[in-house]
């Protein structure tokens, strides 16, 4: 794909899309992506395949017991309810992580709750895990598996050999008391693990009160043990890989402690990192940032800390534990740096929002 296309989208974004409510634009854009899936496969699918061929066999990543066509995937938060997995894959993403899904449906926080910082190529969100709930999402995924039929594994779900690797990110329902958090995660794991290529325990969003407290090792271990047991109960002989997603705001010592815990409990991987509550280093006017208020910051300002966390973890856990690098990946050079820091797989979100539909192919071509 020529570099002109990303520039066209950038111009459209800066002069048209950025003047519309971000959440409304997200819904319209996602609807358009889903509607355009057949055309996208013809127009962009070939570009993504060409980029992968240029990289050659090295583009495939064997991780979590799965084969990923290339390292780049879409982070949780874009497709919260599993409604556009295959349309997003058609854009070139090698894996799509849906969610965050909670045990019970919930509307999320009051609007407005999504804000752009254009000058920083960043986003602040306080969405609050708005989603349809684990029961509805599980039924939707089962229907997708039936619809795809022979394109997925005989068990009725993808295994990395299917059309796209599907991760499912689960979190805590806001109204569930903290003392019942494990039961809430167990409910989601029981309903969703049968449909997941990998499962992610999200304890790092800043937008659910008390959630980040679960990152403390003494609280995280029983939660991970419970989710692991429940996932195994509902999937039989197939072991679903389990990962935890952590915040960039953990101290270095706490990051290393999570790495130690991951090895101790037999986790399959760590996703580093979620959004940050820090506002340091922004070029956006401080008054504008203050007016926006609370929420998790994603995008370019997060890149260095997210890279540092990956490097810290790789040095601690050794070569075998899968690390997904996410946070501030905007360009192919960002992607390359994160891989060099020790990530096996990559995820984007804000880079995709600012880069447009051609962004995955553009990054893959740069990596090639």
Angle at 367 between CA 343 and CA 83, to 5 degrees: 70
Is 158 annotated as ligand-binding?
no
78 is in an annotated binding site: yes
Among residues 205, 298, 330, 361, the one annotated as catalytic is 205
130 is annotated as contributing to ligand binding: no
Which alpha helices (DSSP H) does the chain contain, by range?
Answer: 4-15, 22-35, 37-43, 45-55, 85-90, 134-148, 181-192, 217-235, 252-265, 286-292, 303-317, 332-341, 350-355, 359-367
273 assigned ligand-binding residue: yes
| 221 labeled binding residue | no
Q: Find residue 299's DSSP bridge partners.
A: 122
For residue 100, say whether it is annotated as part of any ligand binding site.
yes
DSSP string, 167-234: EEEEE--TTS-GGGHHHHHHHHHHHHGGG-SEEEEE---TTSTTGGGGGSHHHHHHHHHHHHHHHHHH
According to the annotation, is 328 in a ligand binding site? yes
| Phi, psi of 299, deg, nearest 5 | 110, -160
Check whether 324 is labelled as a binding-site residue. no
Is 173 within any annotated ligand binding site?
A: no
CA nearest to 80, candidates 111, 115, 116, 106: 106
| Residue 30 annotated in ligand binding | no
The response to whether 351 counts as a known ligand-binding position is: no
**C-alpha 316, offset from chain centre:** 23
Residue 331 annotated as part of some ligand binding site: no
Give the list of residues 6+ apart from residue 23 with CB closer than 8 angstroms, or none. 111, 112, 113, 114
Known catalytic residue at 205: yes
Please tell me whether 126 is known to bind a ligand: yes
State the DSSP string of 39-62: HHHHHTHHHHHHHHHHHGGGG-EE
CB 136 within 8 A of CB 188: no
Residue 299 counted as an annotated binding residue:
yes
- Pairwise CA distance, residues 92 & 46, whole Å: 9
Q: Is 160 annotated as a binding residue?
A: no
CB 298 within 8 A of CB 349: yes
207 annotated as a binding-site residue: yes
The response to whether 172 counts as a known ligand-binding position is no
Binding residues, by number, are: 76-80, 100, 125-129, 169, 202, 207, 245, 273-275, 299, 328, 349-350
Q: Which residues are known to be catalytic?
A: 205
Query: Which residues sit in the known binding site for FMN?
Result: 76-80, 100, 169, 202, 245, 273, 299, 328, 349-350
Residue positions forming the annotated binding site for substrate: 80, 125-129, 202, 207, 274-275
């Amino acid at each position: 794909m020529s570099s002109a296309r990303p520039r066209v989208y950038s111009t459209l974004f800066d002069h048209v899309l950025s003047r519309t409510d971000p959440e409304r634009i997200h819904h319209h854009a996602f609807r358009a992506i889903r509607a355009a899936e057949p055309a996208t496969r013809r127009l962009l699918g070939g570009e993504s395949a060409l980029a992968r061929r240029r990289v050659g066999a090295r583009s495939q990543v064997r991780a979590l017991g799965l084969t990923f066509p290339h390292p780049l995937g879409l982070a949780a938060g874009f497709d919260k309810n599993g409604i556009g997995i295959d349309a997003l894959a058609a854009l070139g993403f090698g894996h799509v992580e849906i969610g965050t899904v909670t045990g019970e449906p919930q509307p999320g926080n009051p609007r407005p709750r999504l804000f752009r910082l254009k000058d920083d190529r960043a986003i602040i969100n306080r969405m609050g895990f708005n989603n349809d709930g684990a029961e509805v999402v599980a039924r939707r995924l089962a229907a997708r598996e039936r619809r795809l039929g022979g394109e997925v594994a005989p068990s009725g779900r993808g295994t990395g050999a299917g059309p796209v690797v599907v991760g499912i990110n689960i979190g805590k329902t806001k109204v569930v008391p903290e003392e019942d958090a494990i039961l809430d995660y167990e409910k989601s794991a029981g309903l969703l693990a049968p449909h997941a290529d990998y499962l992610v325990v999200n304890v790092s969003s800043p937008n659910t009160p008390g959630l980040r407290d679960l990152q403390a090792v003494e609280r995280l271990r029983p939660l991970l043990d419970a989710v692991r047991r429940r996932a195994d109960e509902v999937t039989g002989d197939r072991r679903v890989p389990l990962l935890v997603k952590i915040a960039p705001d953990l101290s270095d010592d706490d990051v290393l402690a999570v790495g130690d815990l991951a090895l101790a409990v037999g986790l399959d991987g760590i996703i580093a990192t979620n959004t940050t509550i820090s506002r340091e280093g922004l070029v956006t006017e401080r008054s504008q940032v203050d007016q926006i208020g609370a929420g998790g910051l994603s995008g370019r300002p997060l890149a260095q800390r997210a890279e540092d966390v990956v490097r810290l973890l790789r040095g601690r856990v050794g070569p075998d534990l899968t690390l997904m690098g996410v946070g501030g990946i905007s360009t192919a050079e960002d992607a390359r740096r994160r891989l060099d820091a020790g990530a096996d797989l990559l995820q984007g979100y804000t880079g995709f929002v600012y880069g447009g539909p051609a962004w995955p192919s553009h990054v893959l071509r740069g990596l090639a």
